[in-house]
Structure formats: structure tokens, C-alpha cells
């Protein structure tokens, strides 16, 4: 069964303290892995798409990487405005495209 | 502004009522979705429409009926609302084709009392 699991569920960091969020998956034929950011009371906002193992993408303090079994979202020197829930999603093609989401990691950056 | 917009943002209603949530996108996308986010923040797909045609129906109770009058609109009608329907419902859209990111609306928080 296609499954995506994120860890940790919640992470609290001090401003400037770098860390990584994990997204592990089991899927038969990965078409793409997406990272989204969700702020309270808002819809998910697209960050990155990764397509194949070894791929990396960066945006400001965030860098996403992908292996055959997991993806990491690395946060370097985070700021309080990076506080949000980060969602990982698999793109599956089963007659049509659909995203299967993990449960998210709630990240809090303390000043 | 180009966006996916949903109305209403908040909806409080009694059990047994019928309600609708509207969604519109002006991004020129041809595929639209409804997702449900439960109290544990899990986002699960409910429906997918492509060019007004239902593509995905993820074992959602038939009290939920999506309607797509055109490819820019996807509405969700819910009959006989139950307490367990309380959740945040998100509309999303993207272009058909592999690996195109989905854009989400701001969500509709439905509370059934």
C-alpha cells in the first residue's frame, strides 16, 4: 500500500538552529514528491517538487533532497517566520493524478 | 489576484442540514480537487475533476456530491450533515500532466453541531 510518514510530528528550534524534517515513503512507482508549507488557517503553499533519487532543490533557507525511500527538508539557520506545518506528499497516478499527504511536521522557531 | 478561492471560509450548521461550498480558480487549470483535512491535520483527497468530468472519487459517502459547471468551478454539496463531517475542506487545482504542482484555496472550516 502506498504510504507516506513524516517525522517528527513536532519540532521546536531556536532561531538559527539548523535541523531536518523527514518524509519516508513506500510506493510502487514514485512519480513525484512534493513539499508544501501550511500556515494556521491557510491552505498548503507549494515549496518543491522532486522527481528522482539524488535530486536536490533549494529555496532561501530550505533545501529538499530525495532518496529512493525518503526525502529530507533541511532548514538552515531558521527564523521565526519559518514556523509552520510542513507537509510532504506523494504524487500517484491511478487513472488520474492525486497527492497522498503525510501527517505533517509542525515546526516552531523560537526567537 | 490569480488564485483558488473558496466560499465560505467558515460554516457552522446543524446536523441534518444540507450545505454547499463553492470553489473557483482563475489559473487556467483544467483539473480541480476537493481535499478534507481532519482534526489531526491529515489531508485526504475526496474528488478530482478534469474538464468537468469526475476522475477520482475516493470512497466518499454519497451524501457528498461535487458539481463542476465549468472547468474553473468545482462546488461541493453535502446532504444530511453529520457531526463527523466537521473538518476543513480544501479546494485545489492544477494543470493536467505529470508532476504539476497543485494550488490550494484557503479552506472552508465546516463545523456541524
Q: How many domains does chain A have?
A: 1
Query: What single string gives the DSSP state of each residue in B22-51?
Result: EEEE-S--SEEEEEEE-TT--EEEEEEEET
Question: What residues pair up with B72 in beta bridges, in sequence order?
Answer: none
Say if B30 is an interface residue toward chain A (CB within 8 Å): no
Secondary structure of A50-108 as H, E, C letters: ECCCCCEEEECCEEEEECCCEEEEEECCCCHHHCEEEEEEEEEECCCEEEEECCCEEEE
What's the CATH architecture for B4-96+107-112? Sandwich (2.60)
Domain CATH for A56:
2.60.40.10
Q: Going residue by residue through chain B (113 aa), what tens digit of pLDDT does each one get?
A: 669 999 999 999 999 999 999 999 999 998 999 999 998 888 999 999 888 888 888 878 999 999 999 989 999 999 999 999 999 999 999 987 666 789 999 999 999 99
> Maximum distance among all alpha carbons in chain B?
41
Say if A43 is an interface residue toward chain B (CB within 8 Å): yes
The minimal CB distance from A103 to the residues B40, B48, B103 is found for: B40
pLDDT at A102: 94
Chain A neighbors of B58, CB-CB under 8 A: 98
Q: CB-hemisphere CA count at 13 Å for B18?
A: 6
Instruction: Give the C-alpha separation, B43 to A95, whole Å.
Output: 20
Examine the pLDDT at A22 and tell me if it is beyond 80.
yes
* Cβ-defined contact of A95 to B45 (cutoff 8 Å): no
Q: Residues B31, B78, B42, A65: what is their CA dihedral angle, to the nearest 10 degrees?
A: 0
Instruction: Give the C-alpha separation, A69 to A59, whole Å.
Output: 22
Say if A69 is an interface residue toward chain B (CB within 8 Å): no
Condensed to tens digits (0 to 9), the pLDDT of residues A37-71 reads 999 999 999 999 998 899 999 999 999 999 989 99
Q: Let me know if A107 is exposed, middle or buried by CB neighbors in 10 A (0-12, 13-18, 19+).
A: buried
B108-112 and B10-13 beta bridge pairing: parallel
Number of Cβ within 10 Å of residue A28's Cβ equals: 7
Range of the domain at A71: 3-110
Instruction: Give the C-alpha separation, B103 to A36, whole Å.
Output: 10
Amino acid at each position: 500500500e502506498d504510504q507516506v510518514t513524516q517525522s517528527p510530528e513536532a519540532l521546536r528550534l531556536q532561531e538559527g538552529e539548523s535541523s531536518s524534517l523527514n518524509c519516508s515513503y513506500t510506493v510502487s512507482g514514485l512519480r513525484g514528491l512534493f513539499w508544501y508549507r501550511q500556515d494556521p488557517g491557510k491552505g498548503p503553499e507549494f515549496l518543491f517538487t522532486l522527481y528522482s533519487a539524488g535530486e536536490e532543490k533549494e529555496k532561501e533557507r530550505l533545501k529538499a533532497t530525495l532518496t529512493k525511500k525518503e526525502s529530507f527538508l533541511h532548514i538552515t539557520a531558521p527564523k521565526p517566520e519559518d514556523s509552520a506545518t510542513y507537509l510532504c506528499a506523494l504524487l500517484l497516478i491511478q487513472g488520474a493524478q492525486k497527492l497522498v499527504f503525510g501527517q505533517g511536521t509542525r515546526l516552531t522557531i523560537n526567537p | 489576484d490569480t488564485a483558488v478561492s473558496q466560499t465560505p471560509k467558515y460554516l457552522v450548521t446543524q446536523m441534518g442540514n444540507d450545505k454547499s461550498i463553492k470553489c473557483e480558480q482563475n489559473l487556467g487549470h483544467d483539473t480541480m480537487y476537493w481535499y478534507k483535512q481532519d482534526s489531526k491535520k491529515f489531508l485526504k483527497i475526496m474528488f478530482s475533476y478534469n474538464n468537468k468530468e469526475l476522475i477520482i472519487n475516493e470512497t466518499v459517502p454519497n451524501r457528498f456530491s461535487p458539481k463542476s459547471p465549468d472547468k474553473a468551478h468545482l462546488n461541493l454539496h453535502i446532504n444530511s450533515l453529520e457531526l463527523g463531517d466537521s473538518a476543513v475542506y480544501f479546494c485545489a487545482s492544477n494543470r493536467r500532466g505529470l508532476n504539476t504542482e497543485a494550488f490550494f484555496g484557503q479552506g472552508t472550516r465546516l463545523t456541524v453541531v
